Structure 1
Amino acid sequence: MAIYYASGYPALFSEATPLPQTSIADREYFRFHLRSVDNKLHIGNVVRSRISGNMVIPVSARLNNPDGSFRGVVMASIRLDYFRQVYDYYNLGDRDLMALMKADAKLVYIRPYSEALINRNISLSPLFTQLLTTTTSGAAIYRAAVDGRPRIFGYASLKNYPLVVTAGYDLQAVRQDWIADSIGYVLLNLVLLALLFLLGFIVMHHIRLNLRNQLELTRVHDQLTHVNRTLQGLALMDGLTGLANRRQLDWFMPRAMERAIKLRSPLTILLIDVDSFKAYNDTYGHLAGDECLRNVAECLKQLPLRHDDLLARYGGEEFMIVLTDKTQPEAHLIALQAARAVAELRMPHQASSVAEKVVTISIGMHWQPRVFAGISPMEFIDKADEALYQAKRRGKNQVWMSNMPPSQA
C-alpha cells in the first residue's frame, strides 16, 4: 500500500524503506483521480510495479484537501500471481477458459495465462455487447473474443466492484464428453431393457390377466368420473341457458357477503325479469320462449363482469347478477347496459306493453355500501325484488334502485 502526493511522488509506503523516489503521475489510475472528483474505489489497468517488478492490479481512491481540491492518491496493489494461484485451483480442460475483467471490458487476468492478453479490450465480445446489457449473470454460447473458439460460458457481474468473471467450457469438448457419457448410458439402458424383456417374457401370462382387469377397472373408473363431472355440472349449471343455476347462486351469495364484510366493500344485487314473458309464451309458444331466454342469457354474458361477480338464472324468466366491489354508479351503469343490450336485440314481442313491441327486461337493483354480519341473503334479494316490482309498475324496460327517490323515476 502507498499514499502519493498530488505531484505523484510517494508520501508513505508499506514496504520499501527508504521511500522510492519514483513518480506515478503517468499511471492510468493517477490520471483518473486527477480528473475525477469522485473518491470511490477505482480498479486500474494491470501494470508492472516499478518497485518490485511484479505485475499488479492497482486499487486506488482519491484524497482531497479540506476545500475539495486534489491532494493525492491512496493505492493498494494486488499481485497478479495471486489470481493465478486461485484460478489454478479450478479443474479446466486445455481449451477451457476463465477470465477476470473490468466493467470497461479490459482483461485483468485470464487462464490459460497470457501476458499479451492482459489489459486487452474485448468490448466487442457478445458478453459486453448483448448479455451484460440485459442481465448481470447467466449462461450463453458464443465465440470468445480472445481466440474465436465457441464455448459455453457462465458469467457474472460483481455487485460491489466493477468487475466481471466468466468461465467457458470448450463446446466441442463438451459435446465429445456428452457423447461419451451418452454411449455408456445407452449401453446400460440396452442391458436393462434386455433384462426387462426377459422378465416380461417370464411373467407375461400373469401380466396379461392383470392388464385385462386393470383396463376394465380403468374403463369403469373413467365412466364414473365422466358421469360424476357431468352430474356436478348439471347440479351447478342451468341446462337451458348455460348460466349458473339457483343451487350455485345459493352457494355463492353467503360467500360474497362474507367477503364484503371482511373487506368492508359494497355488494350489489341485480334482479332481472323478462317483461311480459307469459304473454310471449302464449303468443309464440314455449319453444320460442326457451330460445328467447337463451338469447337474453347470451346478451347478459357480454356484460363487463369481473371474475368474482356471478351471473345466474334465478328461476323461470328471472336472472340475477351479483356484483362485488362496485360503486353505486358503476353498478347502475351495468344494469342500464343490460337493459339497453336486451332491447337492442330487437326480438319481436307483439304482446308486450312497451311501445317498441320488442323483448325487454326490467331490473331491480339493491346496492349495499356496507354489509354487516347478521344480514341474510334473502334480505338482499327481497330489496332487489321490491325494486323490480317498482320497475314493472312504472312501465317496464327500466332499472329501479331500491333507494331511488320518486323524483328520479
Structure 2
Amino acid sequence: MIRSTKTTPVAVLFGFLAFSALLGWTEYSNWRAEVGRAEMSLEQTAEAIAQHADDVIETSRLPLASLISEITDEEGHPHMAQKIASLITRQMKASPTLDTLSFIDAEGRMIATSAPRPPAGALYTDREYFQFHKAKPFPLPVLGKPIKSRLSGDWVWPISQKVLREDGSFGGVVVSTIRVKHFINFFRNFPVGNDGSFLIARGDGMVLARGPMAESLLGTNIAAHELFSRYLKAGTAGAYHYRSPVDRQLRIGGFYQSDRTGIVVLAAASKRQILVAWMEEARIRWIYASVLMAVSVLAASHWRQQLKRREESEAQLAAREAEFRLLAESSSDVISRFDENGIREYVSPSSAAILGIEPDRLIGKSVYAGMTEEAEATVREAAARLQIGSTHEKFLIKHVKPSGEEVWLETALSKLPEQNKASATRVVAITRDVTTHKVMHDQLDQLASTDDLTKLANRRSFNVRFEEMMKRARRSRTPLSLLMIDADRFKLLNDIYGHAVGDECLTQIAAVVRSCVKRPGDIAARYGGEEMAVLLTDADVGGAWTVAERIRVQVSALELPHTANLPFGHVTVSVGAATLPPEAPGDITAQALFTQADAALYRAKEAGRNQVVSANRTWYQIAKSAT
C-alpha cells in the first residue's frame, strides 16, 4: 500500500521515540552492568581484606602458644622474666604484623612486653580481656574489643589467651596486639575511590575497625544493622546499597564473612563517584547518539522530499536497521547477529580490537570456526538451551587472537523474537574483553589458597579439597589416603637456631613433599605450624606407605642440622597415614579420617620419631617390622 508523505513526520517521530527508548534502555543496561561490576569488585575486596585479617589473626595467635609453653616451663625460675622477654623479642621478629606481645601475671602486673617503654607500676586488671580470662575457663585465644593501647598509644585489637599454673589456677594472660591502622593502610591498596570506606566486625556485630578512621565506632555493636539482621542471614557474601550512618552518603557495599574466624568485612564505594566515573565514560556514546539522531532526522527529511510515495513500513524497516548498525558501531563491545546455523550475518567494527579479526572476515562464517574443543562445547551447550526455550544465555571462554595473544571473552546471547512459529531462531551476541578482571580474580584466588612460606596449599583450601575428594572417592569407589607430616622437635629447632632457620627448614621439607606428590589429583598443604598434610587419590594403604616413606627418607637425607633431635642429630619427620578403603561405610567423615591419621602420627612420635605409622593395625605391625 502506497502512503502519502504526510505520514513521514509520524514515522520520524516514532523512529525518534523508538531510538530514544533503545538508547535509554541501553544506557540503563550499561549502568546496571557498571553497578554489577562495582558490586563484584567490592565483594572481592571484602573477601581479600577478610582473608588478610584471618591470616593476621592466625599469625598473632601462634606466638601465644609458644609464650604460654615458656611461662609454664620457667614457672618459679628466678630469671623467668628475662627468659620470657627474650622469647618475646624472637617472636616479634618473626611476626611483623604484631604491635606488641606481653605477659601479665595473675595480679595484673606487666611481667614482660615487647613495648620499649611500658608504664611503670601499671595494673591491667581493668582490661576486659583480663577480667574475661580470670572469670572464664575458656582456654583458647580470644579476639577482644578494640582498645587504646597503654603501651603504644594506638588503637589495637587484643588477642589474648589464659595462662594456667601447674596446679590449674589462674596464672595471668598473654596478649598480642594488632594496630587498627594496619588494616586502614591495607585498604588503601584497593581502587575504591576517594570516598571509599570499609568496616571490619566480629561475628557478633562488634566493630573492630573502620576506614577512614572513626574512633567513636570502635567497640560498638552493629548486630541490629541490616548487614547482620538481613544480608548475612541470607548468605556469607554479597552486595547491597545503603546510606552510610556515618557520613550519610549513598554507598554500594560488598560484604564477606570468613568461615575461619567469623570476621565480617564490608567494603564500600560512593555511589555518586561510581556514577560520575560512568558518566565520563558514557559521554562519547551520548555524543555519537546525538549525532545519530540528527543524521536520522536529516535523512527522514530528505526521504520525504525525494521519495514521496515510499511505503511507510519499508522506510521504518530501513531506519531501524540503520539505527541498529550505527548503535552497534559506536559500542566498544563486539555486537554480532547470526542465524539458526551459527552463521554470522553482522559483526560490529570493534571485533578488530577485541577479537583481532576484521568484521568482513567473520561475516558469513560459522561462530564455531577456529574455537578450541572446550570453547566450542561451551557455546554449543548455550545454543542448545536457546533452541529449547531459553531467551538469554551468558558464558566465558578463552580466545586466541591471530597474533597469539590469549584473552578471556564474556558473551551474552539474546534470542530475537520469532515472527511466527515456523520462523528460524536468530540470535544477537554482545561480546566484551574481561581479561583484566579474569586475571585479577585468578590472582586473588591463588593468593587466597597458597601458604606464603612453603608455597603449598593453605589450610583453608586444603579443607575444601578434602571434602570434595572424600565425596569423589565414595562416588567412584576408590581409596583415598591422608598423610599427616610433622617435623620432629621443631620447637627446639626454633629455640636453638632461630625462627629464620626454622622457616628455611619448613621450606626445604615442603620442597621434598612437592617432589614426592606430583600426580594431578593429589594435594599437599601446610596444615599449621610445622605440620603438613597430603591427600593421595586412588592410593591404598601400601601406596600411602610408599609415598610417606619416600618423604621421610628424603627429608632425613637432607641432613639439616638439629642437635636437639636425638639420636639422629639432624632434621627428621614423623608421618601418620590413614586410608579410606573403597568398602568403607558411607558415613565416615573427613574429620574421622583426619583423626585416624593424627592418631597414627602421635604413635609415630611415641615410638621414637623419624618413622611412618599407619592407622590400620595390620599394616602398622608390618610397618614396625620393616623399620
Where on the TM-score scale, by shorter chain, does this alignment land: which range?
A: 0.3 to 0.5
| TM-score normalised by the chain length of structure 2 | 0.30
Higher helix share: 2
| TM-score normalised by the chain length of structure 1 | 0.45
